[in-house]
């Protein structure tokens, strides 16, 4: 499937499955200035990890178990 990431004002970073909107990965307390990050960068699924490039960082999130 296709995935996207979004960051909330609370500092929580979420990765969502596009067709269902289901949260598949999350991180809390991410302290980044998204004003300097490219919003055109795409996350990629590698094995059981979702990799999210943000500016000069690559964040990796282990996928949550699907019920």
Domain ranges (residues) in the chain: 3-62
> Please, what is the Cα angle at 47 between 27 and 37, to 5 degrees?
45
Alpha helices in the chain (DSSP H): none
pLDDT tens digits along 8-35: 777 777 888 888 888 888 877 666 666 6
Confidence band (pLDDT; 50, 70, 90) for 67? very low
pLDDT tens digits along 40-53: 567 777 788 878 77
Please compute the mean of the pLDDT values over residues 3-7 and round it to a whole number.
77
pLDDT for position 46: 77
Rounded to whole angstroms, the Cα distance separating 28 from 8 reads 10
Closest CA to 48 of 27, 19, 25, 18: 25
């Amino acid at each position: 499937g296709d995935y996207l990431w979004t960051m909330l004002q609370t500092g929580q970073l979420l990765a969502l499955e596009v067709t269902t909107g289901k949260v598949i990965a999350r991180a809390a307390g991410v302290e980044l200035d998204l004003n300097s990050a490219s919003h055109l960068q795409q996350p990629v699924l590698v094995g059981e990890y979702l990799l999210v490039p943000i500016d000069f960082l690559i964040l990796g999130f282990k996928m949550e178990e699907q019920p």
